[in-house]
Structure 1
Amino acid sequence: MQDSDPPVVETRVPGAAFGGAPTIRDVARIANVSIGTASKALNAGGRLSQETREKVLRVAREIGYRPNDLAQSLHRAKSRTIGIISNDSFGRFTFPIVEALENRLAEEGIAVFMCNATDDPARERQHLDQLLGKRIDGLVVTARRADKRPPIGPLAHGLPVVYVFSQADDPAALSLLPDDVGGAVLAVGHLSALGRKRIAHITGPEHFEAVRLRRQGYRSALSRAGLAEVDGFYRPGVWSEAWGREVAAELFARREKPDAIFCGNDQIARGAADALREMGVAVPGDVAIVGFDNWDVMALATRPPLTSIDMNLKALGREAGDSLLEMIAGRKLSGVERRPCSLVVRASSVGGGGG
């Protein structure tokens, strides 16, 4: 205990006398107590006599000492900062998530440090070490795809961690993801409700979990609508406009042609729309098209403007902020949670439809 510190003669010392902002060392020296005792008194912690505590607080007031957030964090274990580690070097998915996350945390006076690991484990570990050195209160991990990844948790020494548009291969982790199956069901259900019977699906590489899940939703929606999955209408490949153009041309060289195309992303959809226009195939008159991502840069530039599935990334980012705040407060959260997507209708499916 520090109550044995010798008594001192109280002295008023103006803050300007220090040639700068007074420090906790100044408080301890003038109050004639140890720095540890001064810290306990200033942070309302430890076992101190009321006399000692009041003495330290009085000296702090007299010299104009104001504890900074970092100094306080050493005692309350809160720095009011969180870290973000992303592997999305393009920012297509990360930026909406981070914007909403920052806005949510700013409401609580919490700042954000963001680092880009670019799929480099060594760089990720370096960023994590630096963030831990800043005594962050929690960590958000995000990426450009939602496939499983090794958990960062063991490296974070029990720090609250939320994965958003990313998922840890760890049942104890919390992962927030868009509902890819549900999004595909929305897309194909929309097309079938328009009376389309022969719905093709052009998408990306099958090693992406999102591709497999969207195909699952595609097949489920066809079944619900009583439609057959036509052989050769499912075409996995690459995430590019070139792939959309190539497959659209191939599909329309067939005897049995689709009357609708559900695309795994908006880039593929734009490529398909370009190819159909060049072939003189009317969109949506002959073929309706629905994309996935609702990326304005692509969806609005497509001719006609593209109906697309919105993954509601800003809602995911805000929920990540809410979840992280709960975890920082001591609540344990875990599991994979998938959040609903939305259908944004434009002219590529309904011809002049709103959006």
Structure 2
Amino acid sequence: MTTLRDVARRARVSIATASRVLGGYGYASQRARERVLRAARALDYTPNAVARGMVKRRTHTIGVIVSDNANPFFAMVVRGVEDVLRGHGYAVMLCNTDEDPAKEDVYLRLLREKQVDGLLLAPSGLPTPNLRLWLRAGLPLVLVDRRLAGVHADAALVDNKEGARSAVQHLIALGHRRIGMIGGPQQVFTGQERLTGYYEALRDAGIKPDSALVRLGDFKQHSGHRLAQEFIRMRPRPTALFVANNLMTIGAVMALKEMGVAIPGEMAVVGFDDMEWASILTPRLTAVAQPAHMLGTSAAQLFLQRLEHPDRPQQEIILKTRLVIRESCGAGLARQS
């Protein structure tokens, strides 16, 4: 394997000069730089990234912790992150917590040991011990999709409350008064905000909220399925369901179809997250669309800005949602009749 010493010998410069040229730091004359680069190409030399990182005090890796990397929403967020950071020479170390704070804490420790240059975090709940250590060390942190109580950091977010409110307002405008909600975990910021938006839409319309019409899941498909079954067995049933994320929506729609409940004739459905499959369901799904890719690119840009200007004021980016109206809420069918 070609070493730095081999490159220096072929270029007829010192090892220190070859190191400065290939590491991109310090001074070297233009002539020496050209000789070193020619020698490196001729010998097919690959720099040692770890050693280079020790000199520059950067590893050009970034940790990304999300709650569920199998969820298409987070997959698109991570794609947005990579699309930005790859152009700046960064590699992404992706970790999945399954909404488990203990698992999140383990990954935080491992990423600190790996000496990543920063962290993009979709937190699963309250600050963990290793996150507090991260913050005390002053390492770059960007919160993604979720705020975290007591943590002051850059954040890229979506307006979850307004997205939920617009979905429920749409159902109310279609004449629904008994609207059930399958919500997310309340220790998670997005779960809290979407439930708040649901309640605000009801109160704005003069509808008294009924706690019996709220069931809380875990943002997983099986919980959407189980909780939709509970609503189907309820008497009187809700005439519409608002489901607080894409995976729970899949579970809810499956339950309605398995139990012979017509959508939207017997129960209308609106989901949160507009995925590619939403438009090929029968009936096609009305859903709140989130700019997932833009959320990832915004988070990555905040990280790069923080790295370049570590003392700048904290910044929060809040992206807007969009209600995509199809047939599962009844609106599309009403227009056709």
How would you bin the TM-score normalised by the shorter chain? 0.7 to 0.9
Identity %: 29
- Show the 5 A alignment for 1:29-44: 35-36=15-16, 39-40=19-20
| Equivalent in 57, 80, 84 of residue 104 of structure 1 | 84
| Equivalent in 63, 78, 93 of residue 83 of structure 1 | 63
CA separation of 1:45 and 1:28: change in aligned 2, threshold 3 A: farther
The residue number in structure 2 matching 1:314 is 293
**CA apart distance, 1:91:** 4.3
The residue number in structure 2 matching 1:294 is 274
RMSD (Å), alpha carbons = 3.9
Consecutive unaligned residues in structure 2, runs of 5 or more: none
The residue number in structure 2 matching 1:124 is 107
Cα distance in 2 between the residues matched to 1:189 and 1:111: 42
**CA apart distance, 1:162:** 1.6
**Contact map agreement 2:298 2:317 (CA 8 A) in 1:** no
Q: Secondary structure at the match of 1:149?
A: coil
Q: Given the alignment of the two structures, is residue 139 of structure 1 paired with residue 119 of structure 2, yes or no?
A: yes
Cα distance in 2 between the residues matched to 1:121 and 1:154: 13
**CA apart distance, 1:270:** 4.9
| Equivalent in 27, 30, 54 of residue 8 of structure 2 | 27
Amino acid at match of 1:247: F
The structure with more helix, counted as a fraction of residues: 2
CA separation of 1:248 and 1:340: change in aligned 2, threshold 3 A: farther
**Contact map agreement 1:240 1:267 (CA 8 A) in 2:** yes
Q: Given the alignment of the two structures, is residue 194 of structure 1 paired with residue 178 of structure 2, yes or no?
A: no
Cα distance in 1 between the residues matched to 2:192 and 2:151: 21
CA separation of 1:160 and 1:153: change in aligned 2, threshold 3 A: farther
Aligned length: 320
TM-score by length of structure 1 reads 0.71
| Equivalent in 118, 131, 135 of residue 152 of structure 1 | 131
Q: More deviation in 173-182 or 205-214? A: 205-214
Amino acid at match of 2:107: E
The residue number in structure 1 matching 2:240 is 260
Q: Secondary structure at the match of 1:244?
A: helix
* Structure 1 residues 296-339: Cα deviation after superposition (integer angstroms, max 9, x where no partner): 45x45754232122232222111111111211222535365543
**CA apart distance, 1:98:** 0.9
Amino acid at match of 2:303: L
**CA apart distance, 1:69:** 7.2
Amino acid at match of 1:123: V
CA separation of 1:59 and 1:92: change in aligned 2, threshold 3 A: closer
Q: Given the alignment of the two structures, is residue 240 of structure 1 paired with residue 220 of structure 2, yes or no?
A: no
Cα distance in 1 between the residues matched to 2:189 and 2:38: 62
Q: Given the alignment of the two structures, is residue 323 of structure 1 paired with residue 307 of structure 2, yes or no?
A: no
Q: Secondary structure at the match of 2:212?
A: coil
Cα distance in 1 between the residues matched to 2:244 and 2:284: 16
The residue number in structure 2 matching 1:9 is none
**CA apart distance, 1:230:** 4.5
Amino acid at match of 2:156: L
Cα distance in 2 between the residues matched to 1:266 and 1:296: 11
**CA apart distance, 1:23:** 1.3
Amino acid at match of 1:131: K
Cα distance in 1 between the residues matched to 2:163 and 2:77: 18
**Contact map agreement 2:68 2:74 (CA 8 A) in 1:** yes
Larger Rg: 1
CA separation of 1:295 and 1:43: change in aligned 2, threshold 3 A: closer
Cα distance in 2 between the residues matched to 1:227 and 1:325: 46
Cα distance in 2 between the residues matched to 1:213 and 1:276: 26
**Contact map agreement 1:100 1:317 (CA 8 A) in 2:** yes
Q: Secondary structure at the match of 2:88?
A: coil
Q: Secondary structure at the match of 1:348?
A: coil
**Contact map agreement 2:182 2:224 (CA 8 A) in 1:** no
TM-score by length of structure 2 reads 0.75
**Contact map agreement 1:84 1:139 (CA 8 A) in 2:** yes
Cα distance in 2 between the residues matched to 1:344 and 1:268: 18
**Contact map agreement 1:101 1:320 (CA 8 A) in 2:** yes
Cα distance in 2 between the residues matched to 1:61 and 1:229: 70
CA separation of 1:195 and 1:77: change in aligned 2, threshold 3 A: same
Cα distance in 2 between the residues matched to 1:86 and 1:302: 27
